[in-house]
Structure 1
Amino acid sequence: MEKTSSSAFQVQNGDSAPAAETPVWNMVVVSALAAGIQFGWALQLSLLTPYVQLLGIPHKYSSLIWLCGPISGMIVQPLVGYYSDNCTSRFGRRRPFIVGGSFLVILAVILIGFAADIGHATGDPLGKESKTRAIVIFIVGFWILDVANNMLQGPCRALLSDLSGGDAGKTRMANTLFSFFMAVGNIGGYSAGAQPSLYKSFPFSLTNACDVYCANLKSCFIISAILLFVTTIVAVTCANEIPYTKKAVEGGGERVPFFGELLGAFRNLPRPMLILLLVTALNWIAWFPFLLYDTDWMAREVFGGEVNDNGLYDKGVRAGALGLMLQSVVLGFMSIAVELLARQLGDVKMLWGGVNFILAIGLASTVAVTKAASHSRRFDVQGHALPPNSSVKAGALAIFCILGIPLAVTFSIPFALACIYSSEGDAGSEQAGLSLGVLNLAIVLPQMFVSFLSGPWDALFGGGNLPAFIVGALSAAASGILSITLLPKPQSDAKLVIP
């Protein structure tokens, strides 16, 4: 795309035409959609693994429910990105997908939040017995939620790219805004999850079938639905999209179907991209166990609670949500600092390798905190475990905060390297989209691997979360070593643009 003085482009008849300058506030309100999306993601990560166990799914099987995220990320996100590029709706290319994704998210959170009530109304027993119908409703809602979230994120980022119109400064600002609002959404979601009495704001949420923990979860998702609805309406109203009319490729031929392009990209991957895929895959094998079980670890290993106990497990989950909120604060500040640090070091692979060692140390430290919690465990006169002392809680929360540093790099550097390696290859920068699609597979396939195996690993070693965390620590160390030793330094002197 040629540079012009304009910062936005109207796409019509397959061509890019200069449009009026996009106001900064316009990009702010579109970026704010990330807060609505991420608020729901934060609730999903912090509350849903404990919730499925409250419904009656054993800990060793709970990870299988999370397979939807990797599967939908592998299929839905690339497809939605491809078809939104070629969408000829009169409402624009991105807005129909954003509205459709938001509608599905709202439907999903209603199913998840009211699963226990719907299950009881259709025959589930009250009490601590397994609730089969509620589990089915929850799983359906959970899978819809993951599909819808993947349907939302790609078009939202693409819309910001459209509004930037190829202007490098606008693009950097748009991505900074998007990352900032992701952190805002995380903080809001984790804060809501950490509130023990949020259900009092929605008195109808507490029912015979839905206890206090369930009512709090339901209230969180009601807030999530309202926030996403408002941010979506504002974003699609402010976005000035021009309908796109497809035009045949030069020479009269049709474009190769999406999967043909993806397979072609695999066949022609340059060596730097292959190494990048390996390092990224190891990095996500490290991350996903913690993302999956962080609040459950806090509730079980640190607080000593059990599902359906006298409330200690719930207190641990809320403490884990607080840790995730603090992690998001670190993530927000670190996201702004990533590009500056990369420029200071002069080599992004050294930065990525270094923070992978921080990730490895953080994951390994969960063992020390767990042992300290176990050795200092106190009990009341009835023999019930009491919450851990302040030093143990501080140590656990410190791990959450420290991991915010490598998380910021994980969310930026791999995607930037994929774009740089693509622009330096024979295909040129026009293949950057496909390179990012291929990179996404190096993220979702490890997540599927972890989802399948982490439950059996943990069951084999007594039902805790530490085995998966140790595997993650080893994988993070391997990723750091390969990043420093094998990843080639980008040849170009182009500025690093954080996606």
Structure 2
Amino acid sequence: MAEKLYEYQGVAGRIHSIRDNLREKYASWKENNPNGVSGWVKEKCFSVKQSAGSGNGIDDYSHIYRKKTKKELVRVSAAVMGIEFSYAAETAFVSPTLLKIGVEHKHMTLVWALSPLIGFFLTPILGSLSDRCHLSFGRRRPFIFIMSIGVFLGLILVPNGESLGYSMGDPRPPSLSYHRVSSHRTTAQQNQLSTNDDNSTFTINETIVNNSENIDSFIPYNNSHPWGVLFTILGTVLLDFDADACQSPARAYLLDVTVPEDHARGLSTFTVMAGLGGFFGYALGGINWDVTFIGEMLGGHVRAVFTLITIIFVVCVGFTITSFKEMPLALIEIGGSEFQNYQNCDDEENEIMETNDQQSYGALENTLDRDNTNQAAYCPIGDENNKLNQDQPRKSIIPDPNASLFLYLKSIIYMPRSIRILCLTNLFCWMAHVCYSLYFTDFVGEAVFNGNPTAVEGSVSRELYETGVRFGCWGMSMYSLSCACYSTQIEKFISMFGAKKVYVGGLLIYSTGMLLMALTKHKVGVILFSWTAGVMYSTLFTMPYLIIAHYHAKGTFETTLEGEEKISTQIRGLGTDVAIVSSMVFLAQFILSMCMGTIVNTTGTTTAVVSVASTLAFFGAIAATQVMYLDL
């Protein structure tokens, strides 16, 4: 019947019908949205969501004020696992990739200075913006999502930069074939190399005495890839900056949706997930995908690794940002009546919640104690007597509703000594770790396996280098596994020995391991001493943020000369302080990128990489002795 009607109406009649339907839908939408498109956008993005059928008109955020299960903490931390997968691909293959397409050592290290130059200044600002983000989606998750897009683009560009360069006109490398013609003499061998490039050929003949030389230096190949270098560097900057910067909102998100009692457990879970992500990420790089059908299908080893990691990254980030709703900032700033309505739920509901979990927490108290750094108290549901106690304050880490973005930005410059010392310690830690993570596979390929990244493809030196890079991936995989294992015990170590001994001890272990690796330069040492890097990574991934969260939870950032805690009157945001401490990774990377190439060229060996890492970790241990730990 419809077909006959369409046939009768013809094309013009159908167009008119579609137009009328669209007009009806637009009229209906306009009736439901009297404020127009701008009002609809504001409502969707900036207003507090209303729960259907809820008597108080507010979504249920009780999950924020209860203790989390291990499974829930794993889901909240899944994003960092995806980030570490991508970081594993970056650290393992970016340096070798840049060296292969003609970037010299001294210039390759400068490439790593680009993203930290941006990140050092931008990351704290992004942290402050997240503290004052009014989106109904939350304060942290929008930033996680946006930065994840940058990581995704970086994962696409890095392995395909060289190919994109060829499409833009970069000269393609010659296709090489070796023809070995044995002489009747046992002391000599004639080697002939035929190279086909744009229908041109040339032949090189040489006599190799006792087979002790190779033909690498005789190949007249212009290893220049200007477009390929550009695309690869662009991908590196996107991947490096966003992977590092994304960790700050991810950490703040974890601290926001958990109660202070869960912070140590949550951060250790966060680090375990990071370690597992690095372990499996580097393991993927250690497999020779060139000899598998996946490698053939995806276009080689590097592309196979990056493709698999891209898929895993998207899944992990999606798993986290769909885990727990964040309380929008607009709801926190609404005021007393809404919170009172939310807290005064009916007795039956309270009784059920108390039965299920005696440790679950209800709504925020609206009364802010101005003497306690403007932090709002939270109290167990049904316990009217458990209000904010001056002697034993129990606070959740939420922003002061009266704090402006300017105040948060101002707190980046004017910070207490405790945070400055923590930043200095984290700077040394990250400098020590960046030495290992960014240049380690190159160290293994050159110093341990005696390979050459600039040798022609297919030559002995190039094969040795690539074998060393893959072997280095297994060493870094071991460090990530060590990080995951140590992170499961770090909370126990803190309770047994105290935060100070755990912090300082972890850095000294790493310093000793890197020193022994520099002295041995052996395959066994690559695997064995990489485990000490995991201890240090777990330490710097957990301790600074546990200490920052502790400062905010207690509202204390300094002590008197007698060692007594002083309640701070300065308004500080958790997201801002987490970002400030995290931004040290960018400063560390920038400093090393400016000088590491010169250090390697001056010493003439990539062994300098792990030697410098050992020295910087020792300085970090000294700085860690000056950190304010309060009662941790």
Whole-angstrom distance in 2 between the partners of 1:31 and 1:344: 25
1:424-472: CA deviations, max 9, x gaps?
Answer: 334279636244333234443232111100101111122x222343333
Which piece of structure 1 moves more, 107-116 or 320-329? Answer: 107-116
For residues 52-98 of structure 1, give each alpha carbon's deviation from its aligned partner in whole angstroms, at most 9, with x where no partner exists: 10111111221111124423432343233322333333433333333
- 1:257 aligns with one of 394, 405, 408: 405
Give the distance between the partners of 2:254 and 2:462, measured in 1 at CA. 48
Instruction: Indicate the residue corresponding to 2:241 in structure 1.
Output: 147
1:324 corresponding residue in structure 2: 476
* 1:108 shift after superposition: 1.8
Which aligned pairs between 1:49-198 and structure 2 lie closer than 5 A? 49-127=95-173, 129-164=223-258, 166=259, 168-169=261-262, 171-197=263-289
- Kindly indicate whether the alpha-carbon contact (under 8 Å) linking 2:440 and 2:609 is maintained by their aligned counterparts in 1: no
Indicate which of 413, 438, 441 corresponds to 2:580: 438
2:502 equivalent in structure 1: 351
Amino acid aligned to 2:408: E
Tell which deviates more after alignment, 153-162 or 112-121.
Answer: 153-162
CA contact (8 A) 1:81 1:154 kept: yes
Indicate if the aligned counterparts of 1:111 and 1:138 stay in contact, CA closer than 8 A.
Answer: yes
**SS, match of residue 434 in structure 2:** helix
Larger deviation: 145-154 or 238-247? 238-247
**Secondary structure of the residue that 2:63 maps to in structure 1?**
coil
Aligned match for 1:401, one of 517, 531, 539: 531
Q: CA deviation at 1:302?
A: 0.4
The amino acid across from 1:216 in the alignment is: H
Partner residue of 1:201? 294
Q: 2:490 aligns with which of 333, 338, 342?
A: 338
Equivalent residue of 2:529, what SS? helix
Q: Distance in 1 between matches of 2:468 and 2:159?
A: 20
**Deviations along 1:186-215, whole A, 9 cap, x unmatched?**
111101110112563153433xxxxxxxx2
Q: State the shift of 1:282 in Å.
A: 2.8
Counterpart residue number, 2:61? 19
AA aligned to 1:320 is G
**Residue 515 of structure 2, aligned match among 364, 375, 379:** 364
Work out the CA distance in 2 between the residues paired with 1:344 and 1:428: 33
Structure-2 residue corresponding to 1:375: none
> What is the CA–CA distance in structure 2 between the aligned matches of 1:299 and 1:261, rounded to whole Å?
46
Paired AA for residue 335 in structure 1? S
2:429 maps to: 283
Shift of the 26–200 alpha-carbon distance from structure 1 to 2, 3 Å rule, reads same
- Please tell me the root mean square deviation across aligned C-alpha atoms, in Å: 3.2
Post-superposition offset of 1:265 = 4.8
Give the C-alpha shift of residue 47 in structure 1: 1.5
Residue segments in structure 2 that go unaligned for 5+ positions in a row: 1-46, 51-57, 174-220, 336-367, 371-399, 456-460, 558-566
Q: What is the distance in 2 between the residues matched to 1:406 and 1:94?
A: 27
Query: Structure 1 residues 302 and 428 mapped into 2: Cα distance closer, same or farther (>3 Å)?
Result: farther
Secondary structure of the residue that 1:431 maps to in structure 2? coil
Is the Cα contact below 8 Å between 1:418 and 1:432 reproduced in 2? no
Give the direction of change, closer, same or farther, for the CA distance of 1:329–1:62 in structure 2 (3 Å limit).
Answer: same
Answering whether residue 313 of structure 2 is matched by residue 228 of structure 1, we say yes
d(CA) in 2 for partners of 1:487 and 1:253?
Answer: 30
- Closer, same or farther: CA 137–330 of 1 in aligned 2, 3 Å: same
CA distance in 2, matches of 1:87, 1:264: 17
- Work out whether residues 271 and 483 of structure 2, in 8 Å CA contact, stay in contact via their aligned partners in 1: no
Matched, 1:456 2:602: no
* Secondary structure of 1:306 counterpart: coil
Q: Assess if the C-alpha contact under 8 Å between 1:419 and 1:435 holds in 2.
A: no
Structure 1 window deviating more from structure 2 (437-446 vs 140-149): it is 437-446
* Partners of 1:459 and 1:84 in 2: CA distance: 42
TM-score for the superposition, normalised by structure 1 = 0.80
Asked if the contact 1:366/1:396 (under 8 Å) is kept, the reply is yes
Which has the higher mean CA deviation after the structures are superposed, 353-362 or 135-144? Answer: 353-362
Displacement, 1:404? 1.6
User: Is 1:248–1:255's contact at 8 Å kept on the other side of the alignment?
Assistant: no
Partner of 1:269: 416
CA distance, structure 2, for counterparts of residue 132 and residue 49 of structure 1: 16
Shift, 1:106, TM fit = 1.8
Q: Which moved more, 1:177-186 or 1:188-197?
A: 177-186
Identity %: 24
1:302 partner letter: V
Give the superposition deviation at 1:280. 2.9
Summarize deviations over 1:398-434 as a string: whole Å, max 9, x none: 1111222222212222333344456433427963624
Shift, 1:297, TM fit: 0.6
Relative to structure 1, is the Cα distance of residues 90 and 477 closer, same or farther in structure 2, using a 3 angstrom cutoff?
Answer: closer
Q: Which moved more, 1:183-192 or 1:276-285?
A: 276-285
Contact 1:183 1:329 survives alignment (8 Å): yes
1:180/1:468 CA distance change after superposition, 3 Å: closer
Shift of residue 167, structure 1, vs aligned partner:
5.1
- Contact 2:505-2:621 within 8 A present in 1 as well: yes
Residues 121 and 325 (structure 1 numbering): CA distance in 2 closer, same or farther, change over 3 Å? same
**Separation in 2 of the partners of 1:350 and 1:176?**
17
- Which of 465, 470, 478 aligns to 2:606? It is 465
State the match for 1:212 in structure 2.
none
Matched, 1:302 2:448: yes
Unaligned runs of 5+ in 1: 1-9, 207-214, 371-391
Instruction: Tell me which amino acid in the other structure corresponds to 1:155.
Output: P
CA shift digits 1:243-262 (9 cap, x unpaired): 5428599999974435x534
The structure carrying a bigger helix percent of its residues is 1
TM-score when normalising by structure 2? 0.64
Whichever structure has more strand as a proportion of its residues is 2
Taking the aligned partners of 2:513 and 2:95, their CA distance within structure 1 comes to 21
Q: Do the aligned partners of residues 109 and 411 (structure 1) sit closer, same or farther apart at CA in structure 2, a change above 3 Å counting?
A: same
Distance 2:428 2:106 in 1: 23
In structure 2, how many angstroms separate the alpha carbons of the residues matched to 1:419 and 1:152?
18
Cα distance in 2 for residues equivalent to 1:281 and 1:30: 27
In structure 2, distance between residues paired with 1:113 and 1:356: 34
> How many residue pairs align between the two structures?
446
**Structure 1 residues 353 and 54: alpha-carbon distance in aligned structure 2, compared to 1, 3 A threshold:** same
Structure 1 or 2, whichever has the larger Rg, is 2
What code does the residue aligned with 2:414 have? R
Using a 3 Å threshold, how does the CA distance of structure 1 residues 30 and 286 change in structure 2: closer, same or farther?
Answer: closer
Worse-matched range after superposition: 451-460 or 352-361:
352-361
1:342-366: CA deviations, max 9, x gaps? 22223x2233223322222222223
Which deviations, in whole Å up to 9, do the C-alpha atoms of 1:284-337 show, x marking residues without a partner? 333222222111111100000111334110110011100011111111111122
